Amino acid sequence: MDLLRFATAGSVDDGKSTLIGRMLYDSKSIFTDQLESIERTSRERGDEYTDLALLTDGLRAEREQGITIDVAYRYFSTPKRKFIIADTPGHIQYTRNMVTGASTADAAIVLVDARKGLSEQSRRHTFLVSLLQVPHLVLAINKMDLVDWSEEVYESIRREFVDFAAKLDISDLTVIPVSALQGDNVVQSSTNMPWYQGATLLHHLETVHIASDRNLVDVRFPVQYVIRPHQSSHHDYRGYAGQVCGGVLQVGDEVIVLPSGMPSKIAAIHAPSGPVDFAFAPMSVTICLEDDVDVSRGDMICRQNNRPTVAQDIDAMICWMGSTPMQPGLRLAIKHTTRNARALVQELQYELNINSLHRNSGAGELKLNEIGRVRLRTTLPLLADEYRRNRQTGGFVLIDEATNNTVAAGMILNAS
Amino acid sequence: MNTFESGGNYSLSQLQALESEAIFIIREVVSELEHPALMFSGGKDSIVMLHLAAKAFAPARVPFPVLHIDTGHNFAEVLEVRDQLVAQLGVNLVVGSVQDAIDRGLVQEEPSGSRNRLQTRVLLDTADKYGFNALMGGARRDEEKARAKERIFSFRDDFGQWDPKNQRPELWNLFNTRIHIGESIRVFPISNWTELDIWSYIAQEGITVPSIYYAHQREVFERNGMLFGVHEVCQPRADEPTFVDTVRYRTVGDASLTAAVRSEATTAADIVAEVAATRITERGATRGDDQVSEAAMEDRKKEGYF
């Protein structure tokens, strides 16, 4: 059994929480005490039917206001897969939450209301899925029961969406007509839409091929921690602990350590289960080298002929998450792989309107939830890849040094 | 040498993926925070945490102490395993005692007899005394709705309080560990594990957990639809007849309010099968304290509870 992480984007109005509730309920992942608790709350509020959205809205304010504020994580398994759902709110003021949920997702579900068709919001969500390079996108056209299960409605939304997605960087798209409220095509196939021959949403999530999404080509091993036992039984032991971010590392491989460029050979790899011959993403392992080279946290082990760029000038898209706007000239802390440095925002090249995709090059600042292209200068070189090539070595966060808040998520376009 | 079971050569099983994620997080805490400690009750989740910590730094020793907030309402079997594991791994054990805080008048026993809430104050005081600024714990997001919204690195102000509406975004595996003096971070490396994952892992790794997790004969009585074991701090009232039943504990907490469940499961593999088939959450089945209100856990967490 493997693990699939998916993010859902949409608002309560699109029926997103109902969809998740339906998935949990129909896959028998809801427990009786949880169900009794939400049935009681629904009854007390005078709802006509049990509001499955109550299953996911965990904070008091969310239940009181009937909205999703924050990313909630939900878990369920079928005999085929374990799933982690990052349930994110849909409104524009929660763009940062959706970016957060999408950053680790293998797949994303964008929901649209069949009655309304593509909204500004569904375009924005799709853009964010593309920006964060979520490998698989599902467009769930919901509330099909309210449009008489019409194939024409489905087709027209599907066509419009495919045209829109073609302008973005979407590699795998699946469109599924569903009714979250009644359960059609969520877990059970719909008998109301015989014209739809495709998989149900759950079946799709169970079978979508994710093994090839990881980068198994470019060896990238950011050193996280140096293990030195200081015990007589392991007197000379030096192990470099970290999580593989790309490629396959094998015992005997010739490698180099960046930024120093010192060459060595992999002497041993220790996985959580013991010694192994090879390691790949996302394994946490400890690597021993044959030579006594100087390696510390923030360094990266890679191959001689396949290296990340060692760069202090970084072009990136960032999603601004701070409550005070970002302006050029700002100095921030940056965390990239296991490296910490400081960064100066040299230039804001443009602000990207995430509804129209219009580039506003006259923007002087980025406000909360806005996305733009910036040029950064860092105090230490980063060992960077394009985000498109590797989400781990291409992503970074910016931190306000006064408040210690995480104020931006960044995706590297270019490094030099 | 190991082979990788599912889906060909280059993929991990869900347990391997969760294990790698947890180890990465534990190493990140030690790399970036000066005074970490692991909350360790001797319950199954904290035992799994200690097991992961040992793997994360092997062959070196676990480079931080373990901290037990002792309610005084213990199951003897749990303390025994706690001490055995601590000795085996050579880690330091720090104990914060609720009984001691009561004796010194720092906290007052609640009318219900539950010491769950009192733990918060003792936890904050003990962390203060030893200067721990990063406390790792075995809490999981599947346990409870408020926990489902909590970050892996959960930031606390200088009163140890959680503000659910003002949490730091957590992107990729880039954890922001920066804190001001006086503030602290709670870290939950097994956030993404479920009860089933925990038991599957215990079975896979052959991890020792206290015997009360497995089916045994115990003198019990029924209260609020739950089965409570007779214990010095958990006595039946006159109208609560006792009887002997085959039970096990799904969670281990304050002995005065942790209930047992009927079960025949005597091995970790039996429990995996039982948990996979169960229709009731572990807290719903066994915790008197979480049934108080929809937001009971959220409220306790805001005060600084784990």
C-alpha distance from A75 to closest chain B C-alpha (Å): 7
Whose structure tokens read 């997790």? Answer: B213
Burial of B125 (0-12, 13-18, 19+ CB in 10 A): middle
Same domain, A231 and A330: no
What would the two tokens of residue A323 be?
Answer: 């409550």
Same domain, B63 and B155: yes
Q: What is the pLDDT of residues A132-159, one digit of tens each?
A: 999 999 999 999 999 999 999 999 999 9
Same domain, B168 and B244: no
The answer to whether residues B27 and A225 touch, using CB atoms and an 8 Å cutoff, is yes
Find the CB nearest B168 among A275, A333, A405: A405
CB–CB contact B2 A274 (8 Å): yes
Same domain, A178 and A130: yes
Find the CB nearest B20 among A82, A230, A282: A282
CB–CB contact A99 B171 (8 Å): yes
Same domain, B127 and B251: no
CA end-to-end distance (rounded Å), chain A: 41
Which of A5, A20, A38, A75 should one mutate to test binding to chain B, selecting the residue with the greatest count of B CBs within 10 A? A75
Residue A363 contacts B where some CB pair is shorter than 8 Å: no
Same domain, B60 and B193: yes
Residue-range definition of the domain harbouring residue B88: 14-197+296-303
Provide the pLDDT for residue B184: 85
Q: Taking the CA atoms of chain A, what radius of gyration do you get in angstroms?
A: 23
Q: Is residue B9 part of a domain?
A: no
Q: Is residue B260 part of a domain?
A: yes
CB–CB contact B60 A234 (8 Å): yes
Q: What is the pLDDT of residues A370-408, one digit of tens each?
A: 999 999 999 999 999 999 999 999 999 999 999 999 999
Residue A215 contacts B where some CB pair is shorter than 8 Å: no
Query: Which CATH number is B172's domain given?
Result: 3.40.50.620
Nearest CA in chain B to A41: B294
CB–CB contact B27 A405 (8 Å): no
Same domain, A84 and A66: yes
Q: Is residue B95 part of a domain?
A: yes
SS3 at position B249:
strand
Show residues of chain B in contact with A96, CB under 8 Å. 169
Contact residues, A window 164-193, toward B, CB-based 8 Å cutoff: none
Same domain, B77 and B218: no
Please report the ipTM that was assigned to this predicted complex: 0.92
Domain total in chain A: 3
Same domain, A29 and A129: yes
Same domain, B148 and B245: no
Half-sphere exposure of B208 toward its Cβ, with a 13 Å CA cutoff?
11
DSSP alpha helix (H) spans, A282-416 = 391-394
The answer to whether residues A8 and A142 touch, using CB atoms and an 8 Å cutoff, is no
Q: Which residues contact A278 (CB under 8 A, 6 or more apart)?
A: A248, A249, A250, A251, A269
Provide the pLDDT for residue B2: 42
Show residues of chain A in contact with B199, CB under 8 Å. none
Same domain, A368 and A260: no
The reply to whether omega before B59 is within 30° of 0 (cis) is yes
Q: What is the 3-state secondary structure (H, E, C) of A2-41?
A: EEEEEEEECCHHHCHHHHHHHHHHHCCCCCHHHHHHHHHH
Instruction: Using the CB atoms, write b or e for B14-47: b if 16+ within 10 Å.
Output: bbbbbbbbbbbbbbbbbbbbeebbbbbbbbbbbb
C-alpha distance from B199 to closest chain A C-alpha (Å): 14
Q: Is residue B6 part of a domain?
A: no
* Number of C-beta neighbours around residue A307 at 10 A: 18
The answer to whether residues A176 and A140 touch, using CB atoms and an 8 Å cutoff, is yes
Phi, psi of B238 (to 5 degrees): -60, -30
Q: Which of A1, A29, A39 is nearest to B142 (CA)?
A: A29
Q: What's the one-letter identity of residue A376?
A: L
Confidence band for B4, pLDDT divided at 50, 70 and 90: very low
Contact residues, B window 233-252, toward A, CB-based 8 Å cutoff: none
The answer to whether residues A281 and A242 touch, using CB atoms and an 8 Å cutoff, is no
CB–CB contact A33 B295 (8 Å): no
Same domain, B89 and B215: no
Same domain, B180 and B35: yes
* Number of C-beta neighbours around residue B8 at 10 A: 8
Residue-range definition of the domain harbouring residue A315: 309-415
Percent of chain B with pLDDT over 70: 88
Query: Which CATH number is A184's domain given?
Result: 3.40.50.300
The answer to whether residues B16 and B24 touch, using CB atoms and an 8 Å cutoff, is no
CA geometry: angle A149, A150, A155, nearest 5 deg: 125
Instruction: Using the CB atoms, write b or e for B169-195: b if 16+ within 10 Å.
Output: bbbbbbbbbbbeeeebbbbbbbbbbbb
Residue A227 contacts B where some CB pair is shorter than 8 Å: yes
Which of B149, B177, B301 should one mutate to test binding to chain A, selecting the residue with the greatest count of A CBs within 10 A? B149
Same domain, B89 and B177: yes
Residue A271 contacts B where some CB pair is shorter than 8 Å: yes
What would the two tokens of residue A36 be?
Answer: 């009794």
Domain total in chain B: 2
Percent of chain B with pLDDT over 90: 52
Show residues of chain B in contact with A40, CB under 8 Å. none
Same domain, B27 and B162: yes
CB–CB contact A227 B6 (8 Å): no
The answer to whether residues B12 and A2 touch, using CB atoms and an 8 Å cutoff, is yes
Find the CB nearest B141 among A73, A99, A271: A73
pTM: 0.92
**Following DSSP, what letter does each residue of A91-117 receive, concatenated?**
SGGGHHHHHHHHHT-SEEEEEEETTT-
Same domain, B21 and B96: yes
C-alpha distance from A286 to closest chain B C-alpha (Å): 9
Find the CB nearest B194 among A57, A75, A272: A75
Cα dist. A151→A145, A179, A200, A384, B287 in Å? 11, 14, 16, 47, 49
Q: Taking the CA atoms of chain B, what radius of gyration do you get in angstroms?
A: 19
Same domain, B130 and B238: no
Contact residues, B window 197-226, toward A, CB-based 8 Å cutoff: 197
* Number of C-beta neighbours around residue B95 at 10 A: 14
Q: Is residue B206 part of a domain?
A: no
In Å, how far from its chain's centre is CA A94? 15
Same domain, A131 and A156: yes
C-alpha distance from A304 to closest chain B C-alpha (Å): 23
Contact residues, B window 261-290, toward A, CB-based 8 Å cutoff: 278-281, 284-285
Q: Is residue B125 part of a domain?
A: yes
Provide the pLDDT for residue B6: 39
Q: Which residues contact A206 (CB under 8 A, 6 or more apart)?
A: A78, A80, A81
Q: Is residue B18 part of a domain?
A: yes
Q: CA-CA distance, B274 to B287, in Å (whole number)?
A: 19
SS3 at position B173:
coil
Residue A78 contacts B where some CB pair is shorter than 8 Å: no
Show residues of chain A in contact with B196, CB under 8 Å. 77
CB–CB contact B6 A397 (8 Å): no
**Following DSSP, what letter does each residue of B66-135 receive, concatenated?**
EEEEE-S---HHHHHHHHHHHHHHT--EEEEEHHHHHHTTSS---TT---TTHHHHHHHHHHHHHT--EE
What dihedral angle (degrees, nearest 10) is formed by the CA atoms of B82, B88, B89, B94? 40
Of all residues in chain B, what percent are helix, strand and coil, respectively (each to 5)?
35, 20, 45
Q: CA-CA distance, B75 to B180, in Å (whole number)?
A: 38
CB–CB contact B171 A73 (8 Å): no
Q: CA-CA distance, A56 to A23, in Å (whole number)?
A: 12
Q: Is residue B34 part of a domain?
A: yes
Residue pLDDT tens, chain A, 416 long: 899 999 998 766 777 878 888 888 877 777 777 777 777 777 777 776 667 667 666 556 665 555 556 778 888 888 889 999 988 877 777 788 888 899 999 999 999 999 999 988 888 889 999 999 999 999 999 999 999 999 999 999 999 999 999 989 998 999 999 999 889 999 999 999 999 999 999 999 999 999 888 889 999 999 999 999 887 778 789 999 999 999 999 999 999 999 999 999 999 999 999 999 999 999 999 999 999 899 999 999 999 999 999 999 999 999 999 999 999 999 999 999 999 999 999 999 999 998 788 999 999 999 998 999 999 999 999 999 999 999 999 999 999 999 999 999 999 998 88
Residue A297 contacts B where some CB pair is shorter than 8 Å: yes
Nearest CA in chain B to A396: B174
Q: Which residues contact A232 (CB under 8 A, 6 or more apart)?
A: none
CB–CB contact A273 B2 (8 Å): yes
Same domain, A65 and A97: yes
Q: What's the one-letter identity of residue A120?
A: E
Q: Report the greatest alpha carbon distance in chain B.
A: 62
Half-sphere exposure of B236 toward its Cβ, with a 13 Å CA cutoff?
16
Burial of B218 (0-12, 13-18, 19+ CB in 10 A): buried
Query: Which CATH number is A246's domain given?
Result: 2.40.30.10
The answer to whether residues A229 and A311 touch, using CB atoms and an 8 Å cutoff, is no
Show residues of chain B in contact with A338, CB under 8 Å. 31
Same domain, A153 and A9: yes
Q: Which of A332, A331, A330, A364 is nearest to A350 (CA)?
A: A364
Q: What is the pLDDT of residues A307-338, one digit of tens each?
A: 999 999 999 999 999 999 999 999 999 999 99
Residue B13 contacts A where some CB pair is shorter than 8 Å: yes
Burial of A197 (0-12, 13-18, 19+ CB in 10 A): exposed
Residue B90 contacts A where some CB pair is shorter than 8 Å: no
Q: Which residues contact A167 (CB under 8 A, 6 or more apart)?
A: A357
